[in-house]
């Protein structure tokens, strides 16, 4: 993957990391990347993590906090002035006061936390923690660096013509059929095609289908690049690998694709991604299970290409200086509060199965890995329901307005108990090729789905000053930060 990172980029990465290391000598710094595909819960996780460190909280498994060794943690101005600040205060207020989940991450943001802690042997030290929150979709762009426009067109059109997506892609495919790649370049055609392509990608994200592998990532979250030529292209039906004639539509699209790569993808890789020390990848496996086998297979593909982007492994002296690797990666199945805790092990097994290949690679490289089912802000309580002699493990919470189960639409105020269905003991059945593993909302009318994970609102009665309820956030903290605080 990194073959196409240019030598110049490589040199800049090396120089940057050397500077980082020198700064480290003065003030030890840890760059923690928080990522995940959209709606995986990145913002909520980051908010809860900051809140837990600043306010303290019930973190029994996080040894440093439990032993009382963390003296203080406070927000400090971040090092990169050109990157937006993660607006922790707003997100927290929204969760706590409005009882709404924050809007999704559309861009990279950063926040710096300075933790004063006492090592077990005594004394008082400082660890600077830089949190980098970025959309996982951007990682899906990294493989594009290796692709030519022809390759990109071929793979993305093949995906669009896949039976699971063909219906959603129909308008785009029609627009594509109406265009002439070898015809003269035309801004209107380009914009029509790009708009249809974007719409198709957006449609793939709906709850009923929940697709994940949707490059190029910026089409869905353009940020300030919206409308720029670099985002106004679409894959075309190209006859072969032959160079398109100058002045043709294909040539124009190719130029823009290259511009996308150099203006969007490469800077992200160079300035942010290559500098991370630790990484947490949040995965919303439940949405994929909700939607059906096609979504799950898609999620698996997407995770695969995300994970291929990481430089994993234990750092040697040289690599520490010039090409730092990510030493620890935590895969977290978020929204574990949508399940009874007795099913968490099964959810972890599913996640493990999803990231299996990456796990093998990371182990070979010597990086540390963990898989956990967590919930950064726990929105539900647990209950058991006796029905016809069976005891069903259920969860109780307030579903978001508009959520629907078996014909019942919730108003956003009603508190109900939900039994989401049994996850299989062995996850392999879910991944049956051919999509026969289970039924999701995408099949038929969704009435006979095997699972129904309702989205819940944040719990009532939590205050900004009090610790937030969570599931295994402390375990995540222990894995990601524990060794640096020891």
Partner 1 sequence: MAEQRGRRPEVFRLEDAGLTLAPAEALPEATPEDLAPIVPAPPRSRFGVTLGGLFWTALGGLVSLGTGLAVTRLVEDLFARAEWLGAVGLAFAGLFAVAVLALIAREALGLARLSSLDTLRARAADALITDDRPEAEGVARALIALAKENPRLARARGDLTTHLGAIIDGADLVRLTERTLMAPLDAQARAMVSDAAKRVSVVTAVSPRAAVDLFFVLYTAVTLTRRLAELYGGRPGFLGMIRLGRHVLSHLAVTGGMAAGDGLVQQILGHGIAARLSARLGEGVVNGLLTARLGLAAIAVTRPMPFAALPAPRLSDVAAGLIRKAEAEDAPQPGRRRAGGADGE
- Is the Cα torsion angle 166, 169, 170, 176 positive or negative in sign? negative
Which C-beta is closer to partner 1: that of 227 or that of 429? 429
Binding-site member from 387, 413, 433, 465 for partner 1 (CB under 8 A) = 387
Tell me the closest approach of the beta carbon of residue 403 to partner 1, in angstroms.
Answer: 10
Tell me the closest approach of the beta carbon of residue 99 to partner 1, in angstroms.
Answer: 18
Distance (Å, rounded) from C-alpha 399 to C-alpha 416?
8
How many residues sit close enough to partner 1 to count as binding (CB under 8 A)? 47
Contacts of 315 (CB under 8 A, 6+ apart): 324, 325, 327
Does position 353 bind partner 1 by CB under 8 A?
Answer: no
Does position 466 bind partner 1 by CB under 8 A?
Answer: no
CA 12 and chain centroid, separation? 26
Tell me the closest approach of the beta carbon of residue 307 to partner 1, in angstroms.
Answer: 24
- Is the Cα torsion angle 471, 350, 210, 301 positive or negative in sign? positive
Tell me the window of 73-81, 176-184, 224-232, 428-436 that interacts with partner 1 (CB under 8 A). Answer: 428-436
Which C-beta is closer to partner 1: that of 31 or that of 344? 344
Binding-site member from 166, 202, 364, 385 for partner 1 (CB under 8 A) = 385
- Are β-strands 404-405 and 278-283 bridged in parallel, bridged antiparallel, or unpaired? unpaired
Helix 149-160 and helix 249-260: axis angle, to 10°?
Answer: 100
Closest among 262, 219, 247, 291 to 452, alpha carbons compared: 291
Tell me the window of 103-111, 259-267, 295-303, 420-428 that interacts with partner 1 (CB under 8 A). Answer: 420-428
Tell me the window of 181-189, 259-267, 303-311, 469-477 that interacts with partner 1 (CB under 8 A). Answer: 469-477
Token pair, residue 357, equals: 């290949």
Contacts of 228 (CB under 8 A, 6+ apart): none
Distance (Å, rounded) from C-alpha 5 to C-alpha 113?
31
CA-derived radius of gyration, the chain: 23
- Per CB under 8 A, which of residues 10..69 are in contact with partner 1? 58, 60-61, 63, 66-67
Tell me the closest approach of the beta carbon of residue 308 to partner 1, in angstroms.
Answer: 29
Distance (Å, rounded) from C-alpha 305 to C-alpha 323?
21
Tell me the window of 162-170, 232-240, 312-320, 411-419 that interacts with partner 1 (CB under 8 A). Answer: 411-419
Residue with tokens 């706590």: 96
Which C-beta is closer to partner 1: that of 135 or that of 437? 437
User: Taking a C-beta distance cutoff of 8 angstroms, is the pair 356, 369 a contact?
Assistant: no
Binding site residues, partner 1, CB under 8 A? 58, 60-61, 63, 66-67, 341, 344, 381-387, 390, 392, 394, 396, 405-406, 408, 415-424, 429, 432, 436-438, 449-452, 454, 469, 471-472, 475, 478
């Amino acid at each position: 993957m990194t073959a196409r990172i240019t030598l110049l980029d490589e040199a800049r990465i090396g120089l940057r990391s050397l500077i980082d290391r020198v700064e480290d000598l003065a003030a030890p710094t840890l760059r923690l990347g928080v990522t995940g595909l959209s709606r995986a819960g990145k913002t909520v996780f980051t908010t809860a993590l900051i809140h837990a460190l600043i306010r303290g909280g019930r973190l029994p498994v996080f040894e440093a906090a439990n032993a009382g060794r963390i003296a203080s943690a406070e927000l400090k101005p971040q090092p990169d002035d050109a990157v937006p600040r993660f607006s922790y205060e707003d997100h927290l207020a929204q969760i706590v006061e409005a009882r709404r989940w924050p809007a999704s991450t559309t861009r990279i943001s950063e926040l710096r936390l300075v933790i004063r802690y006492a090592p077990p042997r005594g004394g008082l030290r400082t660890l600077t923690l830089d949190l980098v929150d970025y959309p996982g979709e951007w990682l899906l762009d990294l493989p594009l660096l290796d692709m030519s426009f022809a390759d990109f067109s071929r793979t993305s059109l093949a995906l669009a013509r896949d039976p699971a997506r063909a219906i959603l892609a129909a308008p785009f495919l029609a627009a594509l059929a109406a265009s002439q790649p070898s015809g003269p370049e035309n801004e209107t055609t380009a914009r029509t095609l790009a708009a249809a392509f974007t719409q198709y990608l957006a449609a793939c994200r709906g709850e009923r289908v929940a697709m994940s592998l949707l490059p190029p990532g910026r089409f869905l979250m353009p940020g300030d690049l919206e409308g720029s030529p670099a985002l106004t292209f679409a894959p075309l039906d190209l006859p072969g690998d032959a160079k398109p004639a100058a002045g043709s539509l294909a040539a124009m699209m190719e130029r823009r694709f290259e511009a996308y790569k150099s203006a969007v993808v490469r800077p992200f890789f160079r300035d942010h991604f290559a500098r991370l020390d630790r990484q947490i990848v949040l995965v919303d496996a439940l949405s994929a299970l909700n939607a059906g086998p096609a979504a799950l297979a898609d999620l698996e593909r997407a995770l695969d290409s995300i994970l291929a982007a990481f430089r994993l492994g234990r750092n040697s002296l040289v690599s520490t200086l010039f090409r730092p690797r990510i030493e620890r990666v935590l895969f977290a199945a978020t929204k574990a509060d949508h399940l009874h805790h007795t099913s968490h092990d099964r959810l972890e097994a599913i996640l493990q199965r999803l990231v299996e290949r990456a796990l093998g690679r990371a182990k070979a490289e010597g990086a540390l890995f963990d898989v956990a089912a967590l919930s950064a802000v726990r929105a539900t309580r647990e209950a058991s329901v006796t029905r016809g002699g069976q005891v069903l493990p259920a969860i109780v919470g307030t579903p978001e307005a508009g959520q629907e189960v078996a014909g019942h639409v919730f108003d956003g105020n009603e508190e109900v108990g939900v039994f989401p269905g049994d996850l299989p003991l062995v996850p392999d059945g879910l991944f049956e090729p051919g999509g026969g593993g289970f039924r999701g909302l995408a099949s038929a009318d969704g009435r006979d789905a095997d699972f129904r994970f309702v989205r819940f609102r944040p719990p009532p009665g939590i205050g900004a000053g009090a610790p937030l309820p969570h599931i295994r956030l402390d375990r995540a903290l222990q894995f990601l930060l524990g060794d640096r605080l020891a």
